[in-house]
Amino acid sequence: MDPTDNGWENSAAAWIADQGEAGDFSRQYVLDAPMLARIRQGRAEGRFASALDVGSGEGRFCRILGAEGIAATGLEPTPTLRATARNRDPEGCYVDGRAEALPFADASFDLVISYLTLIDIDGIDQAIAEMARVLAPGGSLLIANLNGFSTAGEWRRQMDGSPYFRLDHYLEPRTEWVSWRGISIRNWHRPMQSYMQLLIGAGLRLAHFEEPRPSGGGKHAERFARVPYFHIMEWVKA
């Protein structure tokens, strides 16, 4: 599978416009707050001084990390997204590279972040091994990911018009193209065991697991409260 044929470069302009500075609904109202809560707890414990954001996109979360006092490096293979990150954050560090072969020495970072990027990675075995490799002992791999229940399901309507969520073929890993507001990208569906087995096999210990509910967003939040669209995991390196 060609890793460059994933739609990201062609969708970059639409993605940048859609995210703005604050991020989309899922970031603003579901994921940012619990992700920052884990990061701030680690900072309070004196554990997080340097971070790697794997798949940093246009650099939004790297800028947030910088505001939290963390020296962040963004890794992004999509040229337009990486250029935008550098333009918006000239003092930041944004590197070309792929998760499957991180261009960093062992134990380089106290914190490695994968914020909705595992679903984009073809070579997930190599990527998780690489994230563990560059993580310093005692450091954390903090993951926000699409829940496998959501990527294996879809909303439908019953005969009376009421919506329900249908789940099928959950155990079968596969790619699919998803499109919205001018963005068209290739995502992976994988069952939870695919990630859990790799993370455990990399010698990491699960310290936190959460399926966050929306913290706002009005009527748009209803479907995110009915189905676990996302989960957050923090894995610690012994």
pLDDT digits (tens, 9 = 90+) for 25-81: 999 999 999 999 999 999 999 999 999 999 999 999 999 999 999 999 999 999 999
The fraction of the chain above a pLDDT of 90, given in percent, is 92
Non-local (6+) Cβ contacts of 210 within 8 A are 34, 231, 232, 233
Non-local (6+) Cβ contacts of 9 within 8 A are 78, 79, 80
**pLDDT above 90 for 217:** no
Calculate the CA 163 to chain-centre distance.
Answer: 28
- Supply the DSSP symbol for 106: T
Q: Provide the H-helix boundaries in 178-227.
A: 192-201, 222-226
The full set of domains in the chain, from first to last, is: 8-237 (3.40.50.150)
Non-local (6+) Cβ contacts of 215 within 8 A are 29, 30, 33
**pLDDT above 70 for 1:** no
Beta strands of 159-226 (E only): which ranges? 163-167, 174-180, 183-189, 204-210
pTM for this predicted structure: 0.95
CA angle 40, 28, 30 (to 5 degrees): 75
Q: How far is CA 157 from CA 70, 143, 163, 185, in A?
A: 46, 32, 4, 26
Q: How far is CA 106 from CA 4, 14, 135, 136, in A?
A: 26, 35, 7, 8
Number of residues that make up the chain: 238
